Amino acid sequence: MAEPDKFQGFTPQAIKFWRDLTRHNNRAWFEEHKALYEREVLVPSRALVSAMGGLLKKLAPLVIAEPKVNRSLFRIYRDVRFSKDKSPYKSHLGLWWWEGPGPRMECSGFYFQLEPPKVMLAVGMHRFPKFLLPAYRQAVADDKLGRALERAVKKVRKAGYEVGGQGYKRVPRGFDPEHPRGDLLRHDALWAAYETDIPEEIHTADFPAWCLPHFRAMAPLHQWLLELTVREFI
């Protein structure tokens, strides 16, 4: 029998759970299937956090992998207070490994999402915390730091990955509208992502090894952002 804390893959039942939840996103259905969720989703998710965390140390030596809800595991419950969509549950699984001196969502990191029929791997910051945005812009405008970011973005895109996070239509006030890195100055986030159909490896212990080359290819963005956050916190 496999060790309970060793990742052996997600079962077909785990994939089916997310497909079914999309069609039956209500509390009655979830309560009826909660034991299945805990057994087929939460247990292997915790194991994946640990297994992937071990491999990610090759890329990010101080990466944090905590196999707990609200740490490396995102909650399944949606915050519907300010949303028109009152569906109580998320339709995807999200896992997060972060590196840096700040709170987990104020650091750059590595993200996994399962939302049948797709999986997504991503690196970076989904949204800059308010205190970090001015520092990010100054770094982009700086010749040395800005050019380093340009090189990182170019390298990641050349490897075939999407780079995004541009949230503003115009270069922010106080910067030259014709700045050579104006496109990067318009960001309020910075991330790289790879989305694909669910691979067969997800059902096996080899899945973390399948993820690692993708995370490695996107890691230059993480490294640049890590250095940015370290400068701000220390």
In which band, very low, low, confident or very high, does the pLDDT at 189 lie, cut at 50, 70 and 90? very high
Choose between 66 and 234: higher pLDDT.
66
**Rama region for 70: left / alpha / beta (φ>0; ψ in -120 to 50; rest):** left
- The DSSP element (H or E) to which 184 belongs, if any, is helix 182-185
Distance, CA of 162 to CA of 185 (rounded, Å): 18
According to the model, what pLDDT value does residue 81 have? 85
- Quote the strand ranges of 91-212, DSSP E: 93-99, 108-115, 118-125, 162-166, 187-197
In a domain, 32, yes or no: yes
In a domain, 3, yes or no: no
Distance, CA of 159 to CA of 214 (rounded, Å): 9
pLDDT digits (tens, 9 = 90+) for 102-124: 999 999 999 999 999 999 999 99
According to the model, what pLDDT value does residue 4 have? 47
Q: Tell whether the model's pLDDT for residue 1 goes beyond 90.
A: no
Residue 200 sits in a domain whose CATH number is 3.30.930.20
In a domain, 182, yes or no: yes
Choose between 54 and 232: higher pLDDT.
54
According to the model, what pLDDT value does residue 83 have? 82
According to the model, what pLDDT value does residue 188 have? 96
Q: Tell whether the model's pLDDT for residue 159 goes beyond 90.
A: yes
In a domain, 6, yes or no: no
- Domain count for the chain, please give it: 1
Distance, CA of 128 to CA of 135 (rounded, Å): 10
Q: Tell whether the model's pLDDT for residue 3 goes beyond 80.
A: no
What residue numbers bound the domain in which 197 lies?
12-233
Tell me the DSSP string of 1-42: ---TTS-----HHHHHHHHHHHH--SHHHHHHTHHHIIIIII
What does the pLDDT average to over 186-200? 98
According to the model, what pLDDT value does residue 140 have? 97
In a domain, 1, yes or no: no
CB neighbours (10 Å) of residue 54?
12
In a domain, 5, yes or no: no
Which residues share a beta bridge with 16?
none
In a domain, 215, yes or no: yes
pLDDT digits (tens, 9 = 90+) for 24-75: 999 999 999 999 999 999 999 999 999 999 999 999 999 999 999 999 999 9
Distance of CA 77 to the CA centre of its chain: 18
According to the model, what pLDDT value does residue 160 have? 98
Q: Taking all residues of the chain, what is their mean pLDDT, rounded to a whole number?
A: 95
Q: What is the pTM of this model?
A: 0.95
Choose between 233 and 111: higher pLDDT.
111
In a domain, 2, yes or no: no
Choose between 82 and 92: higher pLDDT.
92
Choose between 80 and 54: higher pLDDT.
54
Distance, CA of 167 to CA of 83 (rounded, Å): 20
Q: What angle do CA 115, 116, 118 make, to 5 degrees?
A: 75
